[in-house]
Structures are given as C-alpha cells and as structure tokens.
Amino acid sequence: MAKPNKKAPEASVKIYCSVCKTQLFKYKKGGKGSLVKCFKERITEDHTTTSCTCPKCGTVFAREMLIRGTPAYKIISGKAFMK
C-alpha cells in the first residue's frame, strides 16, 4: 500500500569515511549534536561490506557495541563524518 510520503519526522544524515570520502551509511539520526554512535536499527542504507570498515580504503571507522542492550556502532573519533 502506497502511503503519501510526508516529511520524515527524523532527519536522515549520510555518514562518510574521513579518509576517502566514501559514503558508509545513511542514518536516521534522532536529536541534535555530533555523531558519536549509530544504532544499527536506524541505519537505512549500509554501504560497507565488512562491518565498521570502509569498503574503499579499509579504514576502521567504528566499533560494534551494545548501548543499553541495543546493537550500535560507536564511531571512532575523526574516522567518519556526517552531512
């Protein structure tokens, strides 16, 4: 069933590798503030082939962890940016 596509209540951001500028994720970011962690359930597009690793240059940009029991990636400072 097609629903009218209203404005999404949450902003989507794209997350890129800091080294080679390859897109890594599209992510539904709740709230404001800088990018520290990504909950896996909020990632709407995943361009990585190995988790936490840039598919192009191999930079490890995050670590898998649980945040209050929810699987998430913790972004390693300086390895990824969003816009």
In the complex with Zn ion, the residue whose CB is nearer, 57 or 67, is 57
Show contacts with Zn ion in window 36-65 (CB under 5 A): 54, 56-57, 59
Pick the binder of Zn ion from 15, 16, 17, 27 (CB under 5 A): 17
Of 31, 26, 15, nearest to 76 by C-alpha is: 15
Q: How far is the CB of 59 from Zn ion (least distance, A)?
A: 5
Interacting residues with Zn ion (CB under 5 A): 17, 19-20, 22, 54, 56-57, 59
